[in-house]
A and B are shown apart, each in its own frame.
Chain A
């Protein structure tokens, strides 16, 4: 059975949350999420599951322009989240890597006193297997972890390093490819150089 949104919001959002939480506490780990959902295309199932689980009337949502209006209507109806006027006003943002690219500095990075007042970006991608493999280290990673994200901008590692220099300010990323997700919290460092 597949449904537009969670058929049983209490238990399905709890299950999705545990996977999102695990993904953020073990950067680079790929987990299944949103398998039972059938959101309107082109929204990835894991992206839909993440926003259905976490967004509500308290969390302004910014949706990248590549997404059709139907996606905005769908998320507004099922989460009640208001639309953020600009990326740096958003608590959550939805971006499609292949169509929108990714400019991290456009989003809210939080403040020195309240680094939590930042944007969590749900980054939709075609695949978590293709593309250059990022080497990750930091909290949640034992030694070193790898993560491949298709269509990641060429300067992504440089952008990430620049944002990370301002830690604890930063953004947290949830990558969604169909019904799979992986996360990159701001605490993770990308190791430069050849794999």
Chain B
């Protein structure tokens, strides 16, 4: 066939079939965590092996891949995964959200709205939203089977009792299509509303925990809350130092040892485009 030292997109065909079957089940049962035979990848667990396996199973030669790590295209994890697929699948890569057909992400949803022609692949460290409340897999599995999610509301209630508000700010639990409660991966809760009714297919891969789950396009995703303590998106009192954005998720950057700090967009592509547009406006 070919002289390549490994198969297209690194994984062998049987592994891809196994992952593809799991992805289809995940789409058919939105939010349910499908067990899969996660393979050892040439990177350590915690570096996105779940997302990488999902991407490897779906990617084709015509795809354009974007990889972000906490919103940034230029951090180690993003750069190395992009290079991995450029090498093993010879696919085009981009940092432009609008150009990408597949976006693999660690812990952010791009600020630029996604389209129906795009697939968002999340890297997930711990897929089980109930894990820190109930450590036994046999128990959490039964709880999902019975849709017995009261304990999650107790957890959010305890937040309110202790802090006066729901203090969970990332990996904020959400209910998918009125049935399963899922962990949206450690994205900030700022991003949770973007999961709801999203035109793009969203796939979640957890390598170490060996689970795949999905949110099909145009699916209802509701962040858990209470009538008197409704879900609130994180608000910032600052604007992006670089582009002046008031609508994006901001990272706090410490600038000196005297308490100096600034806020900048976490989504580097969004920020760069805004800066380019600002520059153009200023020039005109």
Contact = CB atoms under 8 A, between A and B. Distances in A.
Contacts of A55: 17
Centre residue among B21, B22, B32 by max chain A CB count within 10 A:
B21
Contact of B14 (A15, A56, A142): A56
Contacts of B164: none
Contact of B141 (A14, A54, A113): A113
A11 B24 contact: no
B145 A112 contact: yes
A59 interface: yes
* Size class of the B contact interface (CB-based, 8 Å): 35 or more
Contacts of B40: none
Contacts of B30: 139, 187
A142 B22 CA distance: 24
B211 to A, nearest CB: 11
A56 B146 CA distance: 32
Interface in B22-76: 22-30, 32, 34-35, 57-61
Contacts of B22: 116
Nearest to B8: A10
Contacts of B24: 20-21, 24, 54, 120, 172
Contacts of A142: 217-218
Contacts of A185: 27-28, 216
Contacts, number: 107
B202 to A, nearest CB: 10
Dominant secondary structure at the A interface: loop
A140 B217 contact: yes
Interface residues of A, number: 40
B222 interface: no
Contact of B23 (A21, A168, A186): A21
Interface in B4-21: 7-8, 13-14, 16-18, 20-21
A9 interface: yes
Nearest to B14: A56
Interface string A170-195: 10100000000000011100000000
Nearest to B176: A139
Contacts of B215: 139
28 contacts: A10-B7, A11-B61, A14-B58, A18-B60, A21-B27, A25-B201, A25-B214, A25-B217, A56-B14, A58-B18, A112-B146, A113-B142, A115-B29, A116-B25, A116-B34, A118-B25, A139-B215, A139-B219, A140-B216, A140-B219, A141-B218, A167-B179, A168-B29, A168-B32, A172-B25, A185-B27, A187-B28, A187-B29
Interface of A: 9-11, 13-15, 17-18, 20-21, 24-26, 53-56, 58-59, 91, 111-116, 118, 120, 138-142, 167-168, 170, 172, 185-187
CB-based closest 4 A-B pairs:
A185-B28, A112-B145, A140-B216, A139-B219
